[in-house]
Amino acid sequence: MKILVCVSNVPDTTTKIAFTNDNTEFNKQGVQFILNPYDEWYALVRALELKEAKGSGSVTLIHVGPAENDAVIRKGLAIGADDAVRIDAEPADAYFVAEQVAAYAKDKGFDLIMTGKETISYNSSMVGGMLAELLALPYISLATKLDLSGTTATAEQDVDGGTQVVECQLPAVISCQKGMAEARIPNMRGITQSRTKPIAVVPVSGASTLTSVAGYTPAEGRKAVKMIDPANMDELVQLLHNEAKVI
Amino acid sequence: MAVLVYTEAAKGKIRKTSLEAVNYASHIAQLLGTTVTAAIAAGTDAALLPELGKAGATKVLTLAGDKLASGNDAAWAMALEQAAAAENADVVIFSHDLSAKTIASRLAVRLKAGIVAGAVEYPTVNGTALHVRKNAFSGKATAVYAMHSAKKIITLLPNSFQVKLGEGTATVEAFNANVDAAPAGIVVKERKTRETTTVPLPEAELVVSGGRGLKAAENWGPLEELATVLGATTACSRPISDMGWRPHHEHVGQTGVAIRPNLYIAVGISGAIQHLAGVNGSKIIVVINNDKEAPFFKAADYGVIGDAFDILPRLTEAVKKFKASQH
Ligand SMILES: Cc1cc2nc3c(=O)[nH]c(=O)nc-3n(C[C@H](O)[C@H](O)[C@H](O)COP(=O)(O)OP(=O)(O)OC[C@H]3O[C@@H](n4cnc5c(N)ncnc54)[C@H](O)[C@@H]3O)c2cc1C
Ligand SMILES: Nc1ncnc2c1ncn2[C@@H]1O[C@H](COP(=O)(O)O)[C@@H](O)[C@H]1O
């Protein structure tokens, strides 16, 4: 059982976000980066559980990003991944990431490629489907459960207006969300071991840049809140109707 | 050259998100001096198709092909690639729902198209590039992407654009796609459709949401009553679905569903940043909380300080009275 888990690094939701160069660049200075929660809590932990259940195999992390992101990869190694690959480039967009991961994975014989549902920074939810197409594999999106039996994967996934149970043959690509697994906290042994686990650095191969960020606009705060007398809910309803025009 | 839109029908209607996508496409078509072609599964009730014309399509292609009916995403991507070629379409529009995450991502590879996932504004034309805005950093900013590639795909965040229907009409053409080469893909073993009469959360315009302030699963009655009289969909904060008080699909926030309704009423929710990340795109936010220091008040348009169990029934009564006065 060879599993590849795609991991991204994202600013922690609680960090302040700022831009430089006339709002054309994201300012990484002082930003706390974390392993994308969907990748860490669901994709990686479920990958480890599947390997443990089988009693053999490997879980490899792959990340497209510069050397400064190694800390986040080490966190994944501390949680239990066996080794990691870093494609040495600043990713331009989802297409760029998918192309690099596919180029690496295509001849390595992974049974399963797992991604998070989306990054919490850009919420694109695109890398998994792109990988599946690039590698001509089935794709199970937004999975909340995943089990393997032989070369068959059975998963539960969210679809518009409900859920469904699906099956496909391995190898396959699967994007993971809540339900898949419970988050694991790395223990001391894991942290110590992670320092010596290998991170292979691979150069970029034939990157396409199809989009680029032209600029950012910080969100405007809301106007000051209007407090309503709790004894006067008619007033709230009138404001929602006449002022806010939402009912 | 046309702008191609992927559309769907469900529950006897063209989906609202599809109408949003056709509207958006028609805006781009005007910028580019071209027309809109909507693609929809063959077998969709013909009586529904005029709606696509009213939303701005001048042509509807009903796509038929062996593996399309089963929802095979790889087959759909192939079919849309062929439809885009036939229509000479350089721009393809989807709603940012499941179709975007499965079919649009695959189509992007087939067309080598740049993609902006989750657009929140109409694009602008800049030479041969389109500039498209989307949310970034949990609603703390927006980013404008310049799309340089010849082919472009844009997926729209649901509820970002209000649907406008006009008098337009569309011709309907059958389109036979050759998708035999598509891989087997995934097989659906069991479908569990949610039996709700309310609008699904991502599409809902009115949402009433509860948090730990409601204290127990059995206390949701007053919140549900408010939702019912408003015609709103219910949602909850993460701990609520974690504890199993409410179903997992109601969980909104950074790790749940991101929504942007016209009205979000938060009851007994503190307003943690991870919760706000999923709801701060709402047009109007009402916060009901008994702690005047609750952080959510800072992100609200209207606030009520008080006990949820006292406020909810009175707000429900006020809405009933208002609704009655409207008739
Ligand atoms: C990485 C990460 C991701 C997360 N993702 C999400 C997410 O997607 N969505 C999410 O919601 N959370 C998420 N969280 C959790 C989040 O940080 C908060 O813990 C959570 O939102 C709190 O839920 P709550 O507001 O219901 O409960 P609490 O924070 O306990 O707030 C309860 C509120 O109810 C009020 N209250 C109490 N009694 C009453 C009463 N009788 N009447 C009126 N008000 C009352 C209190 O004053 C308080 O403000 C995430 C956390 C992390 C670390
Ligand atoms: N730079 C990256 N390196 C490796 N994997 C990534 C990267 N960015 C995104 N991914 C993976 O793709 C998933 C979906 O990302 P996205 O499509 O950008 O929302 C993430 O949850 C990760 O598993």
- Strand (E) positions, chain B? 2-6, 9-10, 13-14, 35-41, 59-64, 91-95, 114-119, 124-126, 129-136, 141-147, 152-156, 171-176, 187-193, 206-210, 233-236, 263-267, 284-289, 302-305
| pLDDT (average), residues A183-207 | 93
Neighbours of B296 (CB within 10 A): 24
pLDDT at B327 over 80: no
Q: Tell me whether residue A185 is in a domain.
A: yes
Give the pLDDT score at B288.
98
Residues with CB under 6 A from ligand 1: A 37; B 211-213, 237-239, 253-256, 268-270, 272, 274-275, 278, 289-291, 294, 307-308
DSSP letter for A244, please: S
What is the distance between the alpha carbons of residues A5 and A114, in angstroms, rounded to a whole number? 5
Distance from CA of A73 to the nearest CA of B (A): 21
Give the pLDDT score at A90.
93
Give the pLDDT score at A63.
98
Closest Cα in chain B to A242: B322
Residues with CB under 6 A from ligand 2: A 6-8, 36, 38-39, 43, 62-65, 91, 94, 97, 115-116, 118-119, 122, 124-127
| pLDDT (average), residues A31-47 | 97
Report whether B234 contacts B252 (CB < 8 A).
no
Distance of CA B63 to CAs B11, B41, B42, Å? 19, 5, 5
The count of domains in chain A is 1
**Domain, as residue range, for A89:** 2-216
Q: Structure tokens of B297?
A: 């008040």
Give the pLDDT score at B47.
98
Neighbours of B11 (CB within 10 A): 7
3-class SS of residue A86: strand
Give the pLDDT score at B44.
97
Give the pLDDT score at A30.
92
In which band, very low, low, confident or very high, does the pLDDT at B210 lie, cut at 50, 70 and 90? very high
Q: Tell me whether residue A223 is in a domain.
A: no
What is the distance between the alpha carbons of residues B282 and B205, in angstroms, rounded to a whole number? 9
**Burial of A31 (C-beta count, 10 Å sphere; 0-12/13-18/19+):** middle
Q: Tell me whether residue A143 is in a domain.
A: yes
Distance from CA of B228 to the nearest CA of A (A): 13
Report whether B179 contacts B67 (CB < 8 A).
yes
Give the pLDDT score at B184.
82
In which band, very low, low, confident or very high, does the pLDDT at B183 lie, cut at 50, 70 and 90? confident
Q: Tell me whether residue A231 is in a domain.
A: no
Q: Tell me whether residue A115 is in a domain.
A: yes
In which band, very low, low, confident or very high, does the pLDDT at A239 lie, cut at 50, 70 and 90? very high
- Cβ of A168 within 8 Å of Cβ of B319? The answer is no
Give the pLDDT score at B139.
87
Q: What is the mean pLDDT of chain A?
A: 95
pLDDT at B245 over 80: yes
3-class SS of residue A89: coil
pLDDT at A161 over 90: no
pLDDT at B196 over 80: no
Give the pLDDT score at A220.
87
Q: Structure tokens of B118?
A: 């989750």
What is the interface pTM, i.e. ipTM, of the complex? 0.95
In which band, very low, low, confident or very high, does the pLDDT at A83 lie, cut at 50, 70 and 90? very high
What is the distance between the alpha carbons of residues B20 and B232, in angstroms, rounded to a whole number? 20
To which residue do tokens 């598509």 refer? B182
| pLDDT (average), residues A210-217 | 96
Residues B306-323 pLDDT 10s: 999 999 999 999 999 999
Q: What phi and psi, each to the nearest 5 degrees, are found at residue B303? A: -130, 145
In which band, very low, low, confident or very high, does the pLDDT at A216 lie, cut at 50, 70 and 90? very high
Most confident of A28-32, A159-163, B47-51, B156-160: B47-51
| pLDDT (average), residues A127-145 | 97
| pLDDT (average), residues A214-218 | 96
Give the pLDDT score at B71.
84
Q: Tell me whether residue A170 is in a domain.
A: yes
Q: Tell me whether residue A91 is in a domain.
A: yes
DSSP letter for B217, please: G
In which band, very low, low, confident or very high, does the pLDDT at B185 lie, cut at 50, 70 and 90? confident
Question: In this structure, what CATH number is given to the domain that contains residue A165?
Answer: 3.40.50.620
| Closest C-alpha among B1, B5, B83 to residue B34 | B1
What is the distance between the alpha carbons of residues B85 and A32, in angstroms, rounded to a whole number? 45
* B321 contacts on A by Cβ (under 8 Å): 234, 237
| pLDDT (average), residues B222-248 | 96
pLDDT at B281 over 80: yes
Neighbours of A202 (CB within 10 A): 15
Distance from CA of B156 to the nearest CA of A (A): 11
Q: Tell me whether residue A239 is in a domain.
A: no
